[in-house]
Amino acid sequence: MDTPPPMLSQRDRYIAAIDNIIDSVLKGQVASKELLYQRLTQELEPGTGEIFEQCLVEKVNALESIVKTGDESRQARATRQLRAIKLLQQSWEQWRKNNQDQTSCAAAVQQILATEAENRLAILLQILDPNQTNIFKHQQIRQLAIALQQEAEALPSTAAFELRQYAT
């Protein structure tokens, strides 16, 4: 009987994804920025951009270290990988701009859920306060309401009822 593979952490999945994308670019399997962006869109999950960005920075630092200290063949390979990662960074910036609303919504939902039930309304009002630096626009408020309703599906009835109330 086969044992299922161990669950990878988000960080490990992103490191593997970065390596796979770099290899695909070097092999010519990803020939345009649009394809790279699509691939990145498939790999990334909303609300996890900081983890991905940290993994990307770690990879760049590791490759730059090899370029500075490695032998010629390792330097040449690392230089090619750095060129590929520059394309990935450009796609990442585009993805981040395009998904900022979704990420803000996911972070707000996590903040609400991490709070004790009796304090959730206060946190929701704080999130929606127009005096905050990140102001939720009408579309983001709609996204937040939908996300809260979806989260309510997985909660016990009392907590779910409260979340549904907040979402309306």
Q: What are phi and psi of 123, to 5 degrees?
A: -65, -40
Q: 17 falls in which pLDDT band (50, 70, 90)?
A: very high
pLDDT of residue 83: 93
pLDDT digits (tens, 9 = 90+) for 43-74: 988 778 889 999 999 999 999 999 998 788 88
C-alpha closest to that of 119 among 60, 71, 166:
166
C-alpha closest to that of 96 among 61, 154, 51:
51
pLDDT digits (tens, 9 = 90+) for 153-164: 877 777 777 777
Q: 2 falls in which pLDDT band (50, 70, 90)?
A: very low
Q: Ramachandran region of residue 92, left (φ > 0), alpha (ψ -120 to 50) or beta?
A: alpha
Q: What are phi and psi of 5, to 5 degrees?
A: -65, 150
3-state class of 116 per DSSP? coil
Q: What angle do CA 79, 84, 89 make, to 5 degrees?
A: 120
Q: Is the pLDDT of residue 152 over 50?
A: yes
Q: Is the pLDDT of residue 35 over 60?
A: yes
Q: Is the pLDDT of residue 3 over 50?
A: no
pLDDT of residue 8: 82
Query: What CA–CA distance (Å, rounded) separates 19 from 62?
Result: 12
pLDDT of residue 6: 60
Q: pLDDT: is 106 or 6 the higher one?
A: 106
